[in-house]
């Protein structure tokens, strides 16, 4: 995927050396942006093996709204570094919880007491696409300032929105912080899959994925692996098939990656 390799090259060329909370220095740049045409294939990196199964498991975990990884970690350990058995594998009201269970408080007119209800932001987007596709308010936010002190990791991919033009569903993701080697390949594939899911549900064709990364960074411990990728010529992108089922009924077995040709995996250590 040329867009990704161009992103790596741009950060290496324009970034500066910075310290951060993890203790592992980064080469970072401000304000990276690129677009990917989802009609050209499913954007899963071919210059290294990316574990598609983990991406779909994580996406379905987000959509479940769970505040723990007890079921997720039976299939993938990608979130283990941010919690533990002692914490009962809790991560708090982050990401998916905010997507589908955003808490809303309203005052009862008679009792003057506040009552809590929940907003399913994903369903609201689907409803808007179906009833008012010209809307410019198809927005989902995972950034909730009220829970930052309780979550395992404040949401990196914090804000995304959809747009319908010419029968195509476009998605834009704003990311506050992006680990180029480890996180970004997962993020791109995750939101591409979500766009495919919503497009199928609403009778549209996947269009453009637009991605803005506020702090785009490469950990210095990841340089060798990324340099290896830069000299690899990308293979054609794979395809994605999704079962013809209602959005909320889709399960892991309903996703099929087609013709995924890739180079060997590259191990990158997580900076926590």
Q: What is the pLDDT of residue 109?
A: 78
User: Distance between CA 162 and CA 61 in Å, rounded?
Assistant: 21
82 within some domain: yes
268 within some domain: no
User: Strand 157-165 and strand 102-107: pairing?
Assistant: unpaired
What is residue 241's three-state secondary structure?
strand
**Do the Cβ atoms of 200 and 19 come closer than 8 Å?**
no
208 within some domain: yes
User: Distance between CA 87 and CA 85 in Å, rounded?
Assistant: 5
Q: pTM, whole model, 2 decimals? A: 0.95
- Residue ranges making up the domain that contains 254: 2-258
CA triple 51-55-56, angle to 5 deg: 120
177 within some domain: yes
Taking only the tens place, the pLDDT of each residue in 151-160 is 999 999 999 9
Taking only the tens place, the pLDDT of each residue in 91-118 is 999 999 999 999 999 988 788 888 889 9
270 within some domain: no
15 within some domain: yes
Number of domains in the chain: 1
96 within some domain: yes
Q: What is the mean pLDDT of the chain?
A: 96
132 within some domain: yes
pLDDT at 272 over 80: no
What is residue 27's three-state secondary structure?
strand
Q: Provide the CATH number for the domain around residue 18.
A: 3.30.572.10
Residues known to be catalytic:
156
């Amino acid at each position: 995927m040329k867009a990704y390799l161009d992103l790596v090259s741009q950060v290496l060329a324009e970034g500066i050396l910075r310290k951060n909370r993890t203790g592992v220095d980064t080469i970072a740049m401000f304000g990276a942006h690129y677009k990917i045409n989802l009609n050209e294939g499913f954007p899963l990196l071919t210059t290294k093996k990316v574990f598609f199964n983990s991406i779909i498991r994580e996406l379905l975990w987000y959509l479940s709204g769970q505040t723990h990884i007890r079921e997720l970690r039976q299939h993938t350990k990608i979130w283990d570094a941010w919690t533990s058995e002692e914490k009962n594998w809790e991560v708090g009201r982050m990401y998916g919880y905010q997507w589908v269970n955003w808490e809303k408080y309203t005052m009862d007119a008679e009792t003057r007491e506040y009552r809590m209800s929940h907003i399913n932001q994903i369903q609201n987007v689907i409803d808007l696409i179906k009833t008012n596709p010209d809307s410019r308010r198809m927005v989902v936010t995972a950034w909730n300032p009220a829970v930052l002190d309780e979550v395992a990791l404040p949401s990196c991919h914090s804000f995304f929105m959809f747009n319908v033009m010419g029968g195509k569903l476009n998605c834009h993701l704003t990311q506050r912080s992006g680990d180029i080697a480890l996180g970004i390949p997962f993020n791109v594939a995750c939101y591409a899959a979500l766009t495919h899911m919503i497009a199928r549900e609403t009778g549209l064709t996947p269009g453009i994925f637009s991605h803005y990364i506020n702090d785009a960074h490469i950990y210095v411990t990841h340089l060798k692996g990324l340099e290896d990728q830069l000299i690899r010529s990308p293979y054609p992108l794979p395809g994605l098939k999704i079962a013809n089922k209602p959005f909320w009924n889709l399960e892991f077995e309903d996703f099929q990656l087609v013709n995924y040709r890739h180079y060997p995996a590259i191990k990158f250590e997580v900076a926590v």
